[in-house]
Amino acid sequence: MPEGNQIVVNSPQFEVIKSMEGFVGENLSSLLKPVDESWQPTDYLPDLKQENWREQLAEFREKASELPDDVLVVLIGDMITEEALPSYQTWLNRLQGVGDITGAHSSPWAQWSRGWTAEENRHGDLLNRYLYLTGRVDMRAVETTIHHLISSGFDPQTGNDPYLGFIYTSFQERATKISHRNVGVLAAKAGENRLHKICGMIAGDEARHEKAYKLFMSKIFELDPGRAILAFAKMMKSKVVMPANLMYDGKDKNLFTKFSAVAQNIEVYTARDYAEIIDALVKEWKVAALQGLTDAASKAQEYLCGLSDRYARVAERMKFSGTEKFSWIFDREVVLGFTGKRALA
Ligand SMILES: [Fe+2]
Ligand SMILES: [Fe+2]
């Protein structure tokens, strides 16, 4: 018997994924952007080869000095999450039928996984350089956190099951889209328009990736609805683990919990967003309308259709208070005072 969520080669899931190669190939050109039409981190940073680089840098730092510490902390946590990309590519390549079997294979799934990784790689690069240039961040503490995170790894409890994998990525791409977009809104509020633009560009990529993973999963729902709905319910029951939940700066065992609390406190990514994502995915895959299901699949359907309301009720009761210190910003304290009122909307 396979262990945990392991799917063996020639399993029904593996066969479905293999049968989708043509479909993925047909959609690749709309889901990934050609390199020569893509933005690059340098496009959004001071141009240090210009004669006036000192003025550019001074202006950059002045604008960045307007960002509140709590926004800075969330931006740092988001950047660290992006920088653990090696773990995500490794994980994606382990999903049955999806993996790149040579490392440079021409199959549509392999092209997708490399193209996705290449696009994502710019996110960490850009945010890392942005934060470095602000001069407001203890970059060594941040780099130590990235080092720990990549060596600790990433286990979203999917095993190598591609259905669980694509449900996870559909969820996560939407979550990162929300998070980057909201940091951008807060940056604009602080008058930092460059960061607003940067976060908007990154959120745009996340939105395209979300569309891709939702499309793959829609096809799976069409080809294998019974197993797809069971996988969806299973993923939601085990809760969606955030990609950077093993983050550690070498000192603070509760670093991820504290980072999440600050993100929730300034409403960049909240329990309410978690509920909204479930609702969006249930609608996207038309879960309520699926028919001819087995008993187990019908139970999963009922569970999924009521789930976002349950999370929304929990979200209403969440409150944060007190202060938290972060090594990333030289142990300065961030004040928490979330009252449940949505200020960002
Ligand atoms: Fe990203
Ligand atoms: Fe992403």
**Coil, helix or strand at residue 333:** strand
Catalytic position from the list 205, 210, 249, 252: 205
Sorted by sequence, the CB contacts under 8 Å of residue 289 that are 6+ apart come out as none
Active-site residue 205, yes or no?
Answer: yes
pLDDT over 70 (residue 57): yes
Catalytic position from the list 81, 145, 169, 176: 176
Active-site residue 26, yes or no?
Answer: no
Phi, then psi, of 247 in degrees rounded to 5: -65, 145
Query: Is there a contact between 232 and 107 (Cβ–Cβ < 8 Å)?
Result: no
Place of tokens 């690059």: 40
Catalytic position from the list 78, 173, 267, 276: 173
Active-site residue 316, yes or no?
Answer: no
250 vs 345, which has greater pLDDT? 250
Tokens of 345: 């909307």
Please state whether the predicted TM-score (pTM) of the whole model is above 0.85: yes
Give 326's strand partners: 332
Q: 173 CA to middle of ligand 2, Å?
A: 5
What DSSP letter does each residue of 248-269 carry, written as one string? --SS-TTHHHHHHHHHHHTTSS
Identify the pLDDT of residue 97: 94
Helix (H) or strand (E) holding 315: helix 295-316
The band of 4, judged by pLDDT with boundaries at 50, 70 and 90, is: low
Catalytic position from the list 209, 210, 267, 285: 209
Q: 120 CA to middle of ligand 1, Å?
A: 5
User: Across residues 298-304, what is the average pLDDT?
Assistant: 98
Lowest mean pLDDT among 6-15, 162-171, 259-268: 6-15
Work out the mean pLDDT of the chain and round it to a whole number. 94
Q: 204 CA to middle of ligand 2, Å?
A: 10
**pLDDT tens for each residue of 116-153:** 999 999 999 999 999 999 999 999 999 999 999 999 99
Active-site residue 117, yes or no?
Answer: no
Cα–Cα distance for residue pair 247/152, rounded to 1 Å: 8
Cα–Cα distance for residue pair 206/210, rounded to 1 Å: 6
